[in-house]
Amino acid sequence: MVHTLSLFGKGLFGLPQRGRSRSSGRGAKPGKAGGPGRPSSRRSSRRPPAPPVSVTKEEKERAIALIREEYRRLDALCGVDSSSCSVRISTRMVRRLGTFTLRREGASWGGMEIAVSARILGDAGLFTDVIRHEYAHMLVYLRDGSVRHGHDRVWKAACLEVGCEPMATRKLLPR
């Protein structure tokens, strides 16, 4: 993904750009899409991404230890073994809170990874819910062997089993 400082006729942080409008070569008239006073028609409501979060190595290690501890507890509860899944804290994830990823190893799926955004480390409730959300994805894969469940009924049942809200997305406070 490429991030630019200029987003469709607006400068950084929504300030108007100088010069010609992006919608026509001669400059758009007031009242037309992309003209002065009106946002351009495509992606005008998107804000620039937040800068990467800064966390220390000790904070990352402590968070990973907490995640591993919670996953061991959930493994005992659900009867699976998630020890082969790698866990990391990402300082670059600014739009996603967490991901569960399967990597190909030869002809089969097998390399599992859970990544959690460093943005949520300060909120204990959100942190717990996100790591359980991602664990539910892993649980469905370990039990079913299918990567095609997404946020369907099977995944929602797994969420309830591990104790998190069965929601695909959530609203966050503005940064």
**Cβ neighbours, 10 Å, residue 92:** 12
**Residues 55-71: b if buried by 16+ CB within 10 A, e if exposed:** beeeebeebeeebeebb
DSSP strands (E only) in the chain? 86-90, 98-105, 108-117
Query: Can you read off the two tokens belonging to residue 140?
Result: 């469905």
Q: What is the pTM of this model?
A: 0.69
C-alpha R_g of the chain: 21
Per the CB < 8 A criterion, the answer to whether 130 and 163 are in contact is no
Query: Can you read off the two tokens belonging to residue 160?
Result: 């309830």
Distance, CA of 87 to CA of 100 (rounded, Å)? 9
Query: Is the per-residue pLDDT at 11 higher than 80?
Result: no
Per the CB < 8 A criterion, the answer to whether 67 and 121 are in contact is no
Predicted confidence band of residue 104 (pLDDT cuts 50, 70, 90): confident
The amino acid at 40: S
Query: Is the per-residue pLDDT at 63 higher than 90?
Result: yes
Per the CB < 8 A criterion, the answer to whether 159 and 165 are in contact is yes
Distance, CA of 99 to CA of 168 (rounded, Å)? 11
Residue whose structure tokens are 């001669």: 26
**Interval 18-62: pLDDT, tens:** 444 444 445 445 555 545 555 555 555 666 666 777 899 999 999
Q: Whose CA is closest to 41, among 59, 55, 57, 28?
A: 28
**Interval 78-88: pLDDT, tens:** 999 999 999 99
Distance, CA of 151 to CA of 31 (rounded, Å)? 42
Question: E strand or H helix at 63, and its extent?
Answer: helix 57-78
